[in-house]
């Protein structure tokens, strides 16, 4: 069964011609159709995928190997894809066909991958449970009555259920790492500027970053190498060699210092999560790592800081969706003003409207200094806390989320409770650092627990290397949800 193999193994099987890309793509397309009850996909491009697979087979027959030749992948529906629907999980863009490819899409295609479809997501990436999508919630393959996490829940559910061996996601405050934790995957949020944001529909421009969701750190490293790199079309893109990513997988953990912030190990964490995390730390110690205590004293300010900055940037970014140039256009308008009002009222969901209102308020005259400017100052202090902690350690470690996956509908009526799911992840985005979630076991209900590793700026190689060594010593990343 090809779907039981990880991405790196499938790449090698294709190169050895043990299976063709056409056979592999057919296999995954059939699985996507069979498990449509997960609602993991918004768009499935069967015709385009098979055409790309046939082309890949021609290259393979000539021993022409790009890094991902013939490997099926899926993209979160926030990345523009030429000729395909790019909806951002919203009614506002339910009919938007992009005229161009995002840089991430372009680079993974150049690496030889086969695009099978676009995955479901929280509307405009605003959510922690994948319940705000206009196309309905995504179901967690470990328990169909639970959420897969958000906003990259469709990508996470698709990879966890082996509908694809890898997928892209985006992370603004934890939207790759939290779904990875809930679905038992390896999910990487790269350093800000490592992966181009060109063609990635913006939520909060100073926080958004694209990254991979995969079964293992080895797979994530392969995907990141293909995605990363300088892009002149993105003014925030940083020119940095990607050789360190592959080299990082070879590191030895002897002498590696893992920092444990007291703020990440408090009474807010579920006991089962805390137990699995401590067991994982014990494994790292046996592999040669050293545990040291560090402090992140201002981490509690991360949630209020994030939920001022992110909505403020969202209110600005989403102002372009006015019903005139593209997107949903109301047919209940008698003049230009009501066209704007009705198109936005009809096109946006409740969570998006809530964040636009919060952000507009924070940026308004008389409140800018009190809220937005103060939040930016706190953001700098949070970044300084990380810098001081890294003087004592190489990687900071803790839980990815305070609980395992919660039930569908459990937190939809309590936005604050929903926002608190990102308490351990959003400070990483505020500081622009890389963060990685890896599987660290199961709780009593058989649900995955995520372990988060936070690295220094542009130090993805060491993060992935530490995770790779951990996964060589454990098999949590190889577990498959029952029925898949």
The contacts of residue 48 (CB under 8 Å, 6+ apart) are 83, 84, 115
Q: CB–CB of 183/154 below 8 Å?
A: no
Q: CB–CB of 247/124 below 8 Å?
A: no
Q: Which of 351, 329, 345 is nearest to 125 (CA)?
A: 351
Residue 172: strand, helix, or coil: coil
d(CA 331, CA 208): 33
Distance separating the N- and C-terminal Cα atoms of the chain: 11
Asked if the peptide bond before residue 151 counts as cis, ω within 30 degrees of 0, the response is yes
Residue 257: strand, helix, or coil: strand
The alpha carbon of residue 283 and the mean position of all alpha carbons in its chain are separated, in whole angstroms, by: 26
Angle (CA) 211-216-220 rounded to 5° is 25
Q: CB–CB of 179/137 below 8 Å?
A: no
Q: What values do phi and psi take at 92, rounded to 5? A: -60, -35
d(CA 416, CA 34): 36
d(CA 16, CA 224): 23
Which residue matches tokens 């958004």? 208
Q: CB–CB of 181/295 below 8 Å?
A: no
d(CA 70, CA 26): 12
Number of C-beta neighbours around residue 405 at 10 A: 27
Question: Rounded to 10 degrees, what is the CA torsion of 159, 191, 237, 311?
Answer: 80
Residue 231: strand, helix, or coil: coil
Report which DSSP code applies to 371.
Answer: I
d(CA 70, CA 52): 8
d(CA 124, CA 321): 12
Enzyme catalytic residues = 76, 151, 175
CA distances from 325 to 92, 200, 451 (A): 12, 18, 43
d(CA 290, CA 303): 30
Residue 286, classified by CB atoms within 10 Å of its CB into exposed (0-12), middle (13-18) or buried (19+), is exposed
Element (H, E) at 244: helix 243-248
Dihedral (CA of 110, 116, 122, 123) sign = positive
């Amino acid at each position: 069964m090809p779907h039981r193999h990880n991405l790196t193994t499938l790449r090698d099987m294709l190169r050895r011609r043990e299976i063709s890309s056409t056979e592999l793509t057919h296999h995954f397309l059939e699985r996507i159709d069979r498990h449509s009850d997960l609602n993991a996909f918004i768009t499935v491009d069967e015709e385009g995928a098979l055409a790309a697979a046939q082309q890949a087979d021609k290259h393979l027959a000539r021993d022409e190997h790009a890094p991902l030749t013939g490997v099926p992948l899926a993209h979160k529906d926030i990345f523009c894809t030429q000729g395909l629907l790019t909806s951002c999980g919203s009614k506002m863009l339910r009919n938007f066909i992009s005229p161009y490819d995002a840089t991430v899409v372009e680079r993974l295609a150049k690496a030889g991958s086969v695009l099978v479809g676009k995955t479901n997501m929280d509307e405009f990436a605003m959510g922690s449970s994948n319940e705000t999508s206009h196309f309905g919630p995504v179901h967690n393959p470990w328990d169909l009555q639970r959420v897969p996490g958000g906003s990259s829940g469709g990508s996470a559910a698709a990879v966890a259920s082996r509908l694809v061996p890898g997928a892209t996601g985006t992370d603004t405050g934890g939207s790759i790492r939290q779904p990875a934790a809930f679905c038992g995957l390896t999910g990487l949020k790269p350093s800000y500027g490592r992966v181009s944001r060109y063609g990635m529909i913006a939520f909060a421009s100073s926080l958004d970053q694209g990254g991979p969701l995969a079964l293992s750190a080895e797979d994530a490293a392969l995907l990141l190498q293909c995605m990363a790199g300088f892009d002149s079309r993105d003014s925030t893109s940083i020119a940095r060699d990607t050789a360190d990513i592959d080299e990082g997988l070879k590191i030895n953990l002897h002498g590696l210092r893992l920092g444990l912030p007291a703020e990440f190990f408090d009474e807010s964490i579920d006991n089962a999560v805390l137990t699995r995390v401590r067991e994982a730390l014990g494994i790292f110690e046996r592999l040669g790592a050293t545990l040291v205590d560090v402090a992140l004293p201002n981490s509690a300010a991360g949630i209020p800081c994030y939920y001022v900055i992110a909505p403020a940037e969202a209110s600005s970014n989403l102002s372009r969706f006015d019903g005139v140039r593209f997107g949903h256009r109301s047919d209940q308008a008698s003049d230009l003003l009501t066209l704007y009002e009705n198109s936005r009222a009809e096109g946006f969901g409740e969570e998006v409207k809530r964040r636009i209102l919060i952000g507009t308020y924070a940026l308004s005259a008389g409140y800018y200094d009190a809220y937005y400017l103060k939040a930016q100052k706190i953001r700098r202090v949070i970044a300084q806390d990380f810098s001081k902690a890294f003087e004592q350690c190489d990687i900071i470690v803790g839980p990815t989320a305070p609980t395992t996956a919660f039930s569908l509908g459990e937190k939809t009526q309590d936005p604050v409770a929903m926002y608190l799911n990102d308490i351990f992840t959003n400070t990483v985005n505020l500081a622009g650092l890389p963060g990685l979630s890896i599987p660290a076991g199961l709780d009593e209900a058989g649900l995955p627990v995520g372990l988060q590793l936070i690295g220094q700026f542009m130090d993805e190689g060491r993060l992935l290397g530490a995770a790779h060594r951990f996964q060589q010593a454990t098999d949590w990343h190889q577990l498959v949800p029952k029925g898949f």
